[in-house]
């Protein structure tokens, strides 16, 4: 039967099913354990992988921190890492769920950012360093010790952000210090113009302008120039130096500006008096005297005289000069004095006609000539051919100047004769430059060797030169003498006598015949070629009294044999006096 079979089958199945349930339950439980273990293993692996990545990220962040990556950038990444680590799903950290919670992706992205962070930070710090370096160069300008190449080198060679960060801080500090100094300088200096204190610039400009307007003899010119030089140096300094030196600089400039003042009238008169040897009614004494003297010459002259119109023009110019301001007189003093003196020297009478062979040279032509000259002249001539002595103004006394050197020589020769010994080697070596070159140092030594005033005086007494007085205090050039006494000396040197021996005469005349070329004037200007001249000249400025111009000597040849002494003073210049003495010598030569 089919049904029972079926029933049996079902019964059998039921029986079998009843026997299989325990095993099914066991299998289910076992299956669930296997699945749970796999899930747990999977979650554990996810957490381990996340931990490894997190550890790598933290290590990278620590290294970046050590290299100087900015704290803000590191903090942002640490915060992101913290968010990943603390995220939860059903209270379980998301790290256990791996890709289901996108943890590997997030950690990979964070790790990528961490890897790029150092490079990004280095790039940022390089840009920042370049910016601050160039900003510092621009601010400091010529005073900057930093260059673009130095910035480039610093930026390109840095290996750590901390290096660049430290450099940026240094440059920022320098920039801020620079600007702070400029602010302080602006505050004390009345503002800035091109980073320089305006007060200094304004005061310097005012001082320079005043100095440009300053005339001669202003007070404070030298301090003003010094102050301007100091200010120029000051303005070339860095702001820090300008700040520290501001007050001393302003003090110097202000004092110089205040001290730069025009001279007072009294100060100008003092200057005028110094350059003109005194004042006469607040007028320069030398100019007043030169005008007066030239006017006196014009009074003796005629329009036929050489330089007559120039002399008139000079007098007119001198009077205009005296009417000008004191400052103008100071500036024009040298020029007007030169014009007056030149006019005086060029105002001369027509060339005189020298009387020939008249014996006495001092006739009307001679006196007329001297009337045209400012020179005061005394002359004595002894004609050895006739034994006659002629004189002109014999009673006048003059300073000898260098003609006394012939007296010094004669004294030493006379002393050596008396002692019976020749001149010493030293005396002879000094005698030549004293006579031939008119050496003053040699004259001083021989004056002392002769016994100074006492020794010279003993010889003068022996020579009968009673009108000659030795100079006092060693001033041998101020020995007083007369033309007659000088002729007496020349007679002792030139003709037989009991004072000087022929040997002494020969020695002396030989030296006097060989005077240096530039001394060939005076006695030597009259004689013609073929004559022998032995001479000694002297010249000496005597302040307001003009120049002493003297010439003494012996002339022999062409039928003449005479000694002559020509003494003069009141000469306005050396050349003027020599011209007078030369002309007198020509009168003497032609008359004898």
Q: Render 152-174 in DSSP notation, one character per residue.
A: HHHHHH--SHHHHHHHHHHHHHH
Contact 175, 136 (CB under 8 A): yes
The Cα angle at residue 404 between residues 398 and 408, in degrees rounded to 5:
150
- In this structure, what are the phi and psi dihedrals at residue 374, rounded to the nearest 5 degrees? -75, -20
Enumerate residues 6+ apart whose C-beta is below 8 A from 257: 203, 206, 207, 210, 224
**pLDDT tens digits for range 172-206:** 899 999 999 999 999 999 999 999 999 999 999 99
Neighbours of 83 (CB within 10 A): 12
Q: Is the dihedral of CA 161, 165, 168, 174 positive or negative?
A: negative
Find the length of the chain: 592
The answer on pLDDT for 412 being more than 50 is yes
**Class for the domain spanning 364-591:** alpha beta
Distance CA 53, CA 110 (A): 10
Whether pLDDT at 5 is above 50: no
CA distances from 357 to 119, 339, 361, 409, 587 (A): 125, 40, 9, 33, 10
Does residue 260 sit in helix, strand or coil?
Answer: coil
Q: How much is the pLDDT for 9?
A: 39
pLDDT of residue 494: 97
Give the helix ranges, DSSP H, for 68-160. Answer: 71-86, 103-140, 148-157
Bridge partners, residue 392, by sequence: 379
Q: Quote the CA–CA distance of 447 and 476 in Å, as a whole number.
A: 7
pLDDT tens for each residue of 338-382: 999 999 888 887 767 677 666 899 999 999 999 989 999 999 999
pLDDT grade, residue 30 (50/70/90)?
low
The H-or-E segment that residue 556 falls in is strand 547-557
Query: Of 164, 139, 170, whose CA–CA distance to 152 is shortest?
Result: 164
Q: Kindly report, residue by residue over 81-93, the tens digit of the pLDDT.
A: 786 777 787 778 8
In this prediction, residue 305 carries a pLDDT of 83
Higher-pLDDT residue of 30, 335: 335
Mean pLDDT of the chain: 87
Q: How confident is the model at residue 232 (pLDDT cuts 50, 70, 90)?
A: very high
Least confident range from 293-302, 314-323, 410-419: namely 293-302
Return the DSSP state at 125: H
3-state secondary structure of 540: strand
In angstroms, what CA-CA distances link 450 with 158, 194, 389? 95, 79, 30
Tokens of 53: 């990545």
pLDDT for residue 323:
94
From 567, 565, 572, 578, select the one nearest 541 (Cα to Cα): 572
Question: 385 vs 68, 205, 360, 382, 537, CA distance in Å?
Answer: 124, 83, 13, 9, 24
Q: Is the pLDDT of residue 425 over 50?
A: yes
Q: How confident is the model at residue 552 (pLDDT cuts 50, 70, 90)?
A: very high
Rounded to whole angstroms, how far apart are CA atoms 350 and 353? Answer: 9
For the record, the structure tokens of 321 come out as: 């000069």
In 3D space, the residue among 264, 267, 289 whose CA is nearest the CA of residue 276 turns out to be: 289
Q: Is the pLDDT of residue 314 over 50?
A: yes
| pLDDT at position 443 | 97
Grouping H, G, I as helix, E, B as strand and the rest as coil, residue 226 is helix
- Which helix (H) or strand (E) segment holds residue 569: the answer is strand 560-571
Domain-wise residue ranges, the chain: 1-188, 192-259, 265-346, 364-591
Any residues with CB less than 8 A from the CB of 293 and at least 6 apart, and which? 344, 374, 572
Predicted local confidence at residue 396, as pLDDT: 97
Q: Which H or E run contains 239?
A: helix 239-259
């Amino acid at each position: 039967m089919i049904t029972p079979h079926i029933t049996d089958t079902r019964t059998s199945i039921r029986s079998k099913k009843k026997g299989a349930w325990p095993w099914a339950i066991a299998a289910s439980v076992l299956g669930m354990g296997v699945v749970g273990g796999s899930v747990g293993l999977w979650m554990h692996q996810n957490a381990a992988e996340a931990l490894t990545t997190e550890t790598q990220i933290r290590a990278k962040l620590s290294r970046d921190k050590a290299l100087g990556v900015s704290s803000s950038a590191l903090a942002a990444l640490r915060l992101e890492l913290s968010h990943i680590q603390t995220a939860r799903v059903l209270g379980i950290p998301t790290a256990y769920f791996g890709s289901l919670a996108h943890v590997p992706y997030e950690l990979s992205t964070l790790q990528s950012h961490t890897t790029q962070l150092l490079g990004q930070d280095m790039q940022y710090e390089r840009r920042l360093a370049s910016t601050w370096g160039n900003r510092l160069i621009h601010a400091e300008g010529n005073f900057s010790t930093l260059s673009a190449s130095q910035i480039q080198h610093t930026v390109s060679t840095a290996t750590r952000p901390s290096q660049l960060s430290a450099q940026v801080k240094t440059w920022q500090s320098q920039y801020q210090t620079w600007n702070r100094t400029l602010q302080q300088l602006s505050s004390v200096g009345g503002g800035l113009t091109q980073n320089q204190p305006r007060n200094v610039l304004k005061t310097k400009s005012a001082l320079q302008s005043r100095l440009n307007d300053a005339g001669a003899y202003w007070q404070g010119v030298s301090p003003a120039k010094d102050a301007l030089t100091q200010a120029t140096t000051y303005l070339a300094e860095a702001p820090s130096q300008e700040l520290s030196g501001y007050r001393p600089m302003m003090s110097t400039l202000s004092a110089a500006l205040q001290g730069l003042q025009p001279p007072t009238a009294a100060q100008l008169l003092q200057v005028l008096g110094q350059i003109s040897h005194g004042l006469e009614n607040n007028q320069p004494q030398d100019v007043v005297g030169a005008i007066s003297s030239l006017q006196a010459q014009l009074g003796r002259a005629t329009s036929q005289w050489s330089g007559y119109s120039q002399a008139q023009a000079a007098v007119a110019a001198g009077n205009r000069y005296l009417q000008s301001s004191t400052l103008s007189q100071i500036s024009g003093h040298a020029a007007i004095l030169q014009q007056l003196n030149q006019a005086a020297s060029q105002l001369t009478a027509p060339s005189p006609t020298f009387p020939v062979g008249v014996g006495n040279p001092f006739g009307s032509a001679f006196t007329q000539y001297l009337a045209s000259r400012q020179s005061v002249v005394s002359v004595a001539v002894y004609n050895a051919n006739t034994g006659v002595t002629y004189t002109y103004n014999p009673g006048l006394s003059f300073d000898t100047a260098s003609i006394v050197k012939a007296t010094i020589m004669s004294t030493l020769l006379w002393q050596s004769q008396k002692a019976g010994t020749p001149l010493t080697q030293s005396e002879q070596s000094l005698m030549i430059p004293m006579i031939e070159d008119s050496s003053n140092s040699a004259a001083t030594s021989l004056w002392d060797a002769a016994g100074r005033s006492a020794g010279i005086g003993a010889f003068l007494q022996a020579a009968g030169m009673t009108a000659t007085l030795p100079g006092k205090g060693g001033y041998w050039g101020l020995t007083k003498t007369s033309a007659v006494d000088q002729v007496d000396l020349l007679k002792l040197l030139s003709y037989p006598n009991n004072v000087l021996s022929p040997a002494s005469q020969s020695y002396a005349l030989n030296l006097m015949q060989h005077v240096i070329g530039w001394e060939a004037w005076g006695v030597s200007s009259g004689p013609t070629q073929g004559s022998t001249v032995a001479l000694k000249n002297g010249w000496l400025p005597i302040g307001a009294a003009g120049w002493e111009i003297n010439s003494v000597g012996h002339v022999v040849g062409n039928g003449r044999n005479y000694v002559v002494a020509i003494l003069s003073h009141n000469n306005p210049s050396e050349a003027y006096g020599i011209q007078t003495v030369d002309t007198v010598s020509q009168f003497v030569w032609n008359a004898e």
